[in-house]
Structure 1
């Protein structure tokens, strides 16, 4: 296959190719049956085939691999680098293309191994992980697989070779053409030149000229070498949700690829770590987005497009593309479905300034497009994309064209309010925080007896009065607390709960215990975590006394503001992915009263500065704060945590809604909803100054 102009020079060094292979293999996984007692020790017990992480918490493989699990449940096993331990996490098959082995085998199925039972093309399956884990992801092309930058591809996977022990495997093949009919979803790419072994099905196929995944290995040849591959763009044929789409997660296709593009934009833009990213290696390969964008510019743009709500429909996206000059979106095998797909149709436009102008016109169309829904973050996403467009135009294009863009932006903003009414704005539901009782658990360490706690449980009336339920001043060991408190808490909840409306649990502790995960307690031991069953918030017992001459109570003023004005999040201990000290109290007090401080790096305790930083936030008069208890890896990228925390705070709008919002997030983590995994281990400080905690000497006095 000849090298098309503008599609990557294919002149990377062997060092670049090795680094690329390392990124691919780090994201390649094994798919196993969920057998009881399975230990990820490299054995081939229950091994079904290969796959790869396509986005955070999402794996892609062949349907004939994933559907051999039991009840659509599988184990996904991965090992990011040779020195790390293997990790096994349960997953569920969210979608398979097609859903079953219906109909006779197509012409391409003669090459499918007998063990697979034969599965019609496209033979793809998406697996969603059922708990949050950190893992790398591949970069997936936004162009159809047939648009190769060159003829050579890399493939990876796992195979046993009959030895009983599984091992990684990689090889190179040449693209020999295709067979099958793309219109019938059975087109497959023919690969030849290297031997393929059992177990490799479901592994990624990488275009070496561009450094991007273009396909999924489907089968090995009946002969000595080669096999077939399915283009990743076939995922565009996933079923469209039948009803209105109100959130990104309602459509698995958009959820996966928005998460994919944000993942790569975040990692390439992060100053944390020195390892080369996919965009770095694509630059070394001489690849790019046609003649208009460098790999770095492309990944940045895709990340910004992924912050927008998706196109209203495939038809609306095709209409948008048809209005652009020199574009032919319907000529591609699978119609574009997301913003990234539409961008991929523009890469073959003529070169020069016109190529960049076309991409910027496309971005302006995305800015003014009708939305299926609008989020609190949508306006910021639009501003971010507009800033990118202006910067690119100012750097490379004429003043006349920049004037035209400004006009498009102005006209587009005039129509947004009308177009965004397709999905009605969410209606805030009333909460129980003021009109109904809640449960108060007070834990105090015994200063003279290490790791022992006194506790009190009471019911807080809407007036702020506390009715006692139980107490114990004999000292309870921390590991015994959940079991010891199960009965008293159950009684307190019974007094407060209403049908489908669980009472809030307020946990009052000194600052030294604010990392205690009461929301993770199983009470009773065979039950679900408390934070899944009901809202759980933290209060502080040891507040710094306010000097008499300090003037009006700033805590009350801040609290009142968060109850009446839309809240906004502010990350106070992390900038550009780097840990920074929390500002001094005087500077924190300069933040707007509706600000909710967010601590990204609290999980790095017991570092003294971490604890001191939280103390400064609490001493700054804030009644609401969020922090995550989980310590991130040293090179972990935290941009998604910042983004999601800000969305959750602004989405809750006012402080009375935030306990319910965090409760929903905890339920989502438990239910395996990937869009909530960022919140795993998040704590909510929620301390109403109008209802101060009672003193220990009067806690058990009935009102």
Structure 2
């Protein structure tokens, strides 16, 4: 079979080399005996052993195969046997094939080559951008030549309109029969953007399917006897394509000009994120497991761009598709930064979003992360630090150096275990308190957090359902953090103000002693505190000032809210002494109790105590008097009065008291109903979308 490739040392200009690469990857499709009886249509090589073409090249308008048995695929003058594997739409689908084919729906098919051994054939570069340019494009294809030979054709055209995946192009007259299924190449970017569908009814135009229509490919489009690409055929095909191109770019690859070699010489690619970078990045992503669900890709894109989540058309299916929507920023520096952020965040999702990675996957993750950090060496120091915070990590629950651990019990600055944070973030488009997303993070102090688990529900979950999901995976996070710190890690649960009564300390400890008749509550073995999820990022001065004064106080005093027989007023609360800790006996999720909690939070109080079973109104009685008396003892007990005593000890004090009481003790009842708000501004909650990079919104 003839050889392939443009010589590295010589050759025409970049556009000439691009035309040559496109021609080499274009094939003719015919019956199994070759083109003696005519060319059916064209196609092009997209991955080792795979040809993409138009569905109507292989099937007639009724959905019947054009021939019997296998196909003939002419590659560089040689005949290779092939077999139809996938068809979009499926010829036996519920809608008549001709209606699907002649509308705006996709008209695509995949042919699998049957040769063994398979010839070392070229592959075209499939663009990852969802939108084509509207200027300079060309179509390539085959037609019948003299004496049964195949004649390769090309034609310049210009994109004039788009309706969904259907592209309309203007061209000169004489679009040859047999060019259906051929590649549509964007000559400015040097990449495939579509598949030729048919001649326009005017006779001087061409219709084509945008390549992104292939994202609809599913197992339902597999043909009888076709080669199976698995449960995600589109993603698997793209992985094979991207890894093939990445391998050809390696120094150990063939000494031939690659698509990236040509693309980097095109004026449009004169930026800091080069075609070689893109080829390397997509090859590294192709070696990783795909996202658990497609919505994770959009969420990762939003985090990388630091924008709210949005819907994307065409939809994003795999990591490659997310990469494709990041182009287009006029500032090359920021474009480079956002690509590197996206790659690190994708690696983070693979490592932390599902099952524990295998050793092989972990090795591939580390390869990607090392490459990203090396590629980011010329970024500004703060952006290099941002990338480093996103990774790499060899193990999400691995031990961390003592210096990186959160200060816990004992004297200030003493090393302690990492913190485990559970966040319940309300969705902006849900009714107040109705829908949430959750995440679990490991914390290492000073606002340093690493996500280790999260839900993947684009429309959110009800609060109870979100809690159930968290409880199903929390044990593993706690176990890993305990092992890393050598003692039980603190559990912090961040909720919105309407959920501040959440009794997280009563959640069952799924990692408790094996064989226990009654599961142990999380709060009996570790510090458990509640935080306000609305307090993210840099603390406001009022919150910071309250905390600093409270830390310096050697004795703490309870501030009863609301006062007996009255409502809480902001003026009274703000005038409270520096060592005051609000104590609420009313229900904090409704009525007067909620109003009091809101006033305390708005006044900057970082620490407070309240009951899970508080009363809903102002009807305080002797039961409340007893509760406040106990809280005074908790806050200012003689055994806690020493020179190193601090509000920082309060979570540990409560843990010890809970561990010491018997189940039938009266103390167990009031301690079991107690919730501790503990919001250290020195260890703020993470921003929703990471460090701000300030990119413009995509149009």
The TM-score, its normalising length taken from structure 2, stands at: 0.49
Structure number with the bigger relative contact order (C-alpha 8 A, sep ≥ 6) is 1
The TM-score, its normalising length taken from structure 1, stands at: 0.49
> Which has more radius of gyration?
2
